[in-house]
Structure 1
Amino acid sequence: MSKKAIEPNNINGPILVILPRFIGDAINSLPAIELLNNLYPGKKVCLLIRPYMRDVLERAEGYDFELIEDARYHPNERIGLYRFAKTLKASQFSMAVLLRGSFIEAVLAKLAGIRYVVGYAQNGRKPLLSHPLKLNECHHYIFRYCRLVNDAHGKPLQSFSLPRLRANKAQLTHPEPHATAVYIGGKNKATRHYPVHLAANALTKIVAQTQTHLYLLGDSSEHHDAEELRQQLARKNIEATNLAGTTSLGELVDTISAMDAMITIDSGPMHIASACNIPTLALVGLGTSPFSLVAPLTTHCQVITSHSTSLNEAEIICAIEPEYLAERYLDLFK
């Protein structure tokens, strides 16, 4: 970056941070928010979020920010780009940090009259940025977000903390000594989905060796897959609770936080569990990004990586054997 570093004394108005669109990415952006809090103690920091993210980010622990729902994506009454930019302009933001790499977000910041706009010079938006950075695609996503804040200010900070969520207390429905959340996704997760029959075999072995109740998680589109898993377990006399499609995102955070352990695919729930410090097994086949770039950095999350040689992308995750998954689950508590 050739531009002169931003001096905090020159930032008189509030700061706008445009968050990524997915839950896991939004959670990974929290360390960058903390860096802004460190650089601007007491300064108003506003996070521009998709409306569905509110319940999750309201549970962020130890950060100082306000939430602004992006009216362009309101489920009931959306407004256009120019009208929304006019709304933001009235708040007189001095700086915007674009944690989402789309061109339209840079246009939004420009139309809102924000003087300092920090972001990666990608998707043709470099002319719209006051402080464009070159993206290093080898950097972890948390590092990428934090670097936008740190580099634009002349690299005054040396490290970042990991994301933190604080959940509300959730009342579990079963009395077993332990509770385990299970999220294998649905067919909508394509190559990340761990097949139901493999999950059923692994969970059968786990329940045979532990006193744990299984809580199956997912959204409404994944209820059928979770119910199929519950029924396969029931045929083996194993009771499981299917919560897929029955919880809000906030309740999902609360439920995961109440668990003793979690088994999950590469997903938003994986990042929620990590931010809540829940011992987690992450099943990784072929994802939407290289897993090394999005993997939770906490030691509470252990990764089971497929070593498949299959040329069928959907079968890569199938190389994670149920017996090995069960062994790794038991290792979580050693």
Structure 2
Amino acid sequence: MPKKVIEPSNISGPILVILPRFIGDAINSLPAIELLNDLYPGKKIYLLIRPYMREVLQRAEGYDFELIEDARYHSRERTGLYSFAKTLKVLRFSMAVLLRGSFKDAALTKLAGIRNVIGYAQNGRRPLLSHPLKLNECHHYIFRYCRLVNDTHGKPLDSFSLPRLKANDIELTHGAPQATAVYIGGKNKATRHYPVHLAANALAKIAAQTSTHLYLLGDSSEYTDTEELLQLLAAQNITATNLAGKTSLGELVDIIAAMDTMITIDSGPMHIAAACNVPTLALVGLGTSPFSLVAPLTSQCQAITSHSTSLDEAEIICAIKPEYLAERYLNLFK
């Protein structure tokens, strides 16, 4: 716990929270926002986000915040650090919570004249923080974010709630009894990508024993991989819908929420499914972080982990056999 405990009564102005840059991490930060809502009822809390995140966070359910798009990352008219700091300074923030370990974000808060700045003392930014905490790398990401709020306020809260997204209702294009979203990533996901031929094998086994319609998800860079999967399924007379590159992030949330179940790799869509309370199978190979630190804490998400002994990192996820994936899928409905 930091030496100086923050008293909510001493925070007169609005609060700035700088969110992580990835969708899954941003979703995992929502419990920390809820803790701030509990400690500062009625106070304005602004989330500084990458512009592409807006549609996802507009679907956050039961939180009180306003969104500010980070002008440093606008695709067309980017603003520099000093210019954007002047923009933030006008809002007269009393406190900032840094949920990223970025040195530039810490510098941004100081240039914006924010007196109370909470964050983890990493990447040489301790002198820029009024309330630095030492990072425990064993903590789950949600715990890390919540700790920044709770510890600096004297640990007044005992627990946190899981992230929640409320999607817009949509009508699916196919009237099958069940709907299953599938996200295996593309080659751009490197070691997290579940190979197309293995996915096709597993989905064929699932289709033979269920009446589910498959919705293949991905972004525009993953369209080729997803189209290859679609063709392998079509060769076995299995109908599926390829939505890769055809949805906005907000629409992606709506589609996932409309599913009966989801098969996914460790990814942003996995965290969306968890926040929408959709039963999910997560295929876990070698990720960008240890899975135990980022895994959705809901029982609705079941991890299928690899037990590979391969020294080839790309082969680790391949140890998840299609037969086992299909078996686990069928068990979801038992």
TM-score (norm 2): 1.00
CA distance in 1 between partners of 2:230 and 2:169 (Å):
25
Where does residue 92 of structure 2 map in the other structure? 92
Q: Is 1:166 aligned to 2:166, yes or no?
A: yes
Where does residue 28 of structure 2 map in the other structure? 28
Where does residue 206 of structure 2 map in the other structure? 206
Shift of 1:75: 1.1
Where does residue 272 of structure 1 map in the other structure? 272
Question: Aligned partner of 1:114: which letter?
Answer: I
Shift of 1:11: 0.3
The superposition leaves residues 120-176 of structure 1 with CA deviations (integer Å, 9 ceiling, x where unpaired) of 000000000000000000000000000000001000000000000000012211111
Where does residue 64 of structure 1 map in the other structure? 64
Q: Is 1:254 aligned to 2:254, yes or no?
A: yes
Shift of 1:4: 1.2
CA distance in 1 between partners of 2:314 and 2:325 (Å):
19
Question: Aligned partner of 2:76: which letter?
Answer: N
Question: Aligned partner of 2:209: which letter?
Answer: Q
| 2:86 alignment partner, SS class | helix
Shift of 1:187: 0.1
Question: Aligned partner of 1:94: which letter?
Answer: S
Question: Aligned partner of 1:295: which letter?
Answer: A
CA distance in 2 between partners of 1:172 and 1:231 (Å):
21
The answer as to whether partners of 2:35 and 2:150 remain within 8 angstroms in 1 is yes
**Identity across matched positions, percent:** 84
Where does residue 304 of structure 2 map in the other structure? 304
What aligned pairs does 1:184-195 form with structure 2 within 5 A after superposition? 184-195=184-195
Q: Is 1:318 aligned to 2:297, yes or no?
A: no
Where does residue 232 of structure 1 map in the other structure? 232
| 1:75 alignment partner, SS class | coil
CA distance in 1 between partners of 2:190 and 2:171 (Å):
32
Where does residue 76 of structure 1 map in the other structure? 76
Shift of 1:333: 1.3
Where does residue 155 of structure 1 map in the other structure? 155
Where does residue 139 of structure 1 map in the other structure? 139
CA distance in 1 between partners of 2:71 and 2:2 (Å):
34
Shift of 1:2: 3.8
Where does residue 286 of structure 2 map in the other structure? 286
Shift of 1:298: 0.2
CA distance in 1 between partners of 2:146 and 2:42 (Å):
19
| 2:214 alignment partner, SS class | strand
Where does residue 120 of structure 1 map in the other structure? 120
Q: Is 1:46 aligned to 2:46, yes or no?
A: yes
Shift of 1:47: 0.1
Question: Aligned partner of 1:281: which letter?
Answer: L
| 1:303 alignment partner, SS class | strand
What are structure 2's unaligned runs of at least 5 residues?
A: none
RMSD of aligned residue pairs (Cα, Å): 0.5
| 2:282 alignment partner, SS class | strand
| 1:308 alignment partner, SS class | coil
CA distance in 2 between partners of 1:170 and 1:25 (Å):
26
The answer as to whether partners of 2:95 and 2:117 remain within 8 angstroms in 1 is yes
TM-score (norm 1): 1.00
Q: Is 1:215 aligned to 2:188, yes or no?
A: no
**Segments ≥4 residues shifted beyond 4 Å:** none
CA distance in 2 between partners of 1:260 and 1:331 (Å):
14
Shift of 1:281: 0.1
| 1:262 alignment partner, SS class | strand
| 2:113 alignment partner, SS class | coil
Question: Aligned partner of 1:111: which letter?
Answer: L
| 1:199 alignment partner, SS class | helix
Q: 1:58 to 1:2 in 2, by over 3 A?
A: closer
Question: Aligned partner of 1:162: which letter?
Answer: L
The superposition leaves residues 33-78 of structure 1 with CA deviations (integer Å, 9 ceiling, x where unpaired) of 0000000000000000000000000000000000000000011100
CA distance in 2 between partners of 1:303 and 1:204 (Å):
21
| 1:119 alignment partner, SS class | strand
The answer as to whether partners of 2:2 and 2:152 remain within 8 angstroms in 1 is no
Shift of 1:270: 0.1
| 2:59 alignment partner, SS class | coil
Q: Which moved more, 1:170-179 or 1:256-265?
A: 170-179
CA distance in 1 between partners of 2:152 and 2:109 (Å):
16
CA distance in 1 between partners of 2:298 and 2:315 (Å):
28
CA distance in 2 between partners of 1:124 and 1:81 (Å):
18
